[in-house]
Chain A
Amino acid sequence: MNPVNILNSDQLAITITRLCQQLIENHGDFEKTAIVGLQPRGVFLANRIVKVLHELTGVSKIRHGALDITFHRDDFRRKDTPAIPSETQMNFDVEGLNVVLIDDVLYTGRTIRAGLDALLAFGRPSRVELLVLIDRRFSRHLPVQADYRGRTVDAIASERVSVDWKETEGKDQVTLYATKKEL
């Protein structure tokens, strides 16, 4: 099976704008809101969303940070090598804030569980929502669902969804790969 393009650059831009409109609907002027991207890949999406929110609302200061979940993962010592962490940049407490956790792909839900755990180190948020670009449904290991989703994808376990960004891969796109050998 050839790689399937799920979203091209234009479609991705439209989807992000739509997600931003939904955020504005619920969060207004973002006075009590923090946008938190999960390291490493969720941060690109979070940055993009903050940029678009800024353009749409004119609010110049939207709290946003990057959260690394490595030390909170539940698969430590189940892999051959320990996972190497990325940088956490949280310059604010989330005490009493509405937090929007952002990741690129929601798959088993384990990353989000670790993200919720890691977030508690920065205070008790009043509410936490989850925004994902791609929701791989029917593949959850934990009861985690997204509040905002860009595109829902049905993919089997052997397939892989990859989100590319202009900043790192040179092109905005979402692709579905069949990683296992075809029969």
Chain B
Amino acid sequence: MSSLSVNHLLGIKNLTREDIELIFETATNFKEVINRPMKKVPSLRDITIANLFFENSTRTKLSFELAEKRLSADIINFSSASSSVKKGETLIDTVNNILSMKVDMVVMRHPNPGAHYFLSQHIDASIINAGDGTHEHPTQALLDAFSMREKLGDLQGKKVVIVGDIMHSRVALSNILCLQKLGAEVMVCGPTTLIPKYIESLGVKVEHNLKKALIWCDVANILRIQLERQDIAYFPSLREYTMMYGVTMEILNSLKKEIIIMHPGPINRGVEISSEVADSKQSIILQQVENGVAIRMAVLYLLAGKIERNS
């Protein structure tokens, strides 16, 4: 019997290693549940969850929604494109309006880093971060580490390289924190302009040569170039980026070992990863998606367990 040390999932930063282990243990059981003929359990039938997406999302939103439905929770969805946010309502007002409809948990994606922390100080509901700007995306990091662990066992001492747009990626930061808590070594790889200056203070290695990075690692997590967040040109052209940092079969075959290829999606085939690599047997991109539902079920289940009844 144990429970999480937190009441909200704001970021990996706030979790302990024990929390992460507990989420993984619970997710393993939910993975069995979602592979049953009947994939639904009644645990959260008296819980109502609001999915608030102030920023676009396909995979994460579907994954959370499915996880909530598999747990029998009632859900309401909201996306900012069709809401009163456009009419000038503040975040706290929007959320408080939704909460007065008796909502127990809030899953939110927001373009501003720290929006979840801010909200957690002002409202009375359990908050799950589904991505806040360029800051954190904790459930993605958890499912990435969970998928790695399925392949490699204990991550202690394992080497993981994150390739691509580190600067604009919330996946990168959450992954770094999560992997380090589990004892893995992390390296980031990409053009100088896309790697934040302070990143070494997190204790990660920096490498600008893709081949050297791939030779070093056991797992390569490849990120998309987030053109929508780039206000200026960080590299001359996408074509040049692909030539320098695109992961191809040719470069993988030149390594003397088989490494695991991951990608949080959406993938841009032929840019950061070639089609061949994305579809190869080294790639566990689709397993990541499957594990995403199990991890999110575990997070929802464990946080819901901490909500007091009749309060």
Contacts and interface: CB of A to CB of B under 8 A. Distances in A.
Interface in A78-97: 78, 80-88, 90, 93
B287 interface: no
A68 B309 contact: no
Interface stretch (B35-43, B197-205, B221-229): B35-43
Interface stretch (A27-35, A117-125, A139-147, A159-167): A117-125
A57 B22 CA distance: 43
B304 A85 contact: no
Interface in B229-245: none
A173 interface: no
Contacts of B29: 68, 70-71, 85-88
A71 B43 contact: yes
Nearest to A121: B38
Interface of A: 68, 70-73, 76-78, 80-88, 90, 93, 117-118, 120-123
A122 B33 CA distance: 10
A93 to B, nearest CB: 6
A17 B246 CA distance: 66
Given A77-B307, A87-B29, A88-B29, A82 B302 contact: yes
Interface in B24-48: 25-26, 28-29, 32-33, 36-44, 46
B1 interface: yes
B36 A121 contact: yes
B305 interface: yes
A77 B309 contact: yes
Given A71-B33, A88-B32, A122 B1 contact: no
A71 B42 contact: yes
A52 to B, nearest CB: 28
Contact of B305 (A76, A86, A122): A76
A91 to B, nearest CB: 11
Contacts, number: 66
Contacts of B36: 90, 121-122
A122 B3 contact: no
Interface string B92-125: 0000000000000000000000000000000000
B38 A84 contact: no
B2 interface: yes
Nearest to B309: A77
Given A71-B42, A72-B41, A123-B37, A77 B305 contact: yes
Closest 6 CB pairs of A and B: A82-B305, A71-B41, A81-B3, A121-B38, A85-B29, A71-B43
Given A81-B3, A93-B37, A121-B37, A72 B305 contact: no
B146 interface: no
A112 to B, nearest CB: 16
Contact of A76 (B28, B33, B39, B43): B43
Interface centre among A83, A120, A121 (most CB of B within 10 A): A121
A83 B37 contact: no
A90 B37 CA distance: 11
Contact of B38 (A73, A85, A88, A120): A120
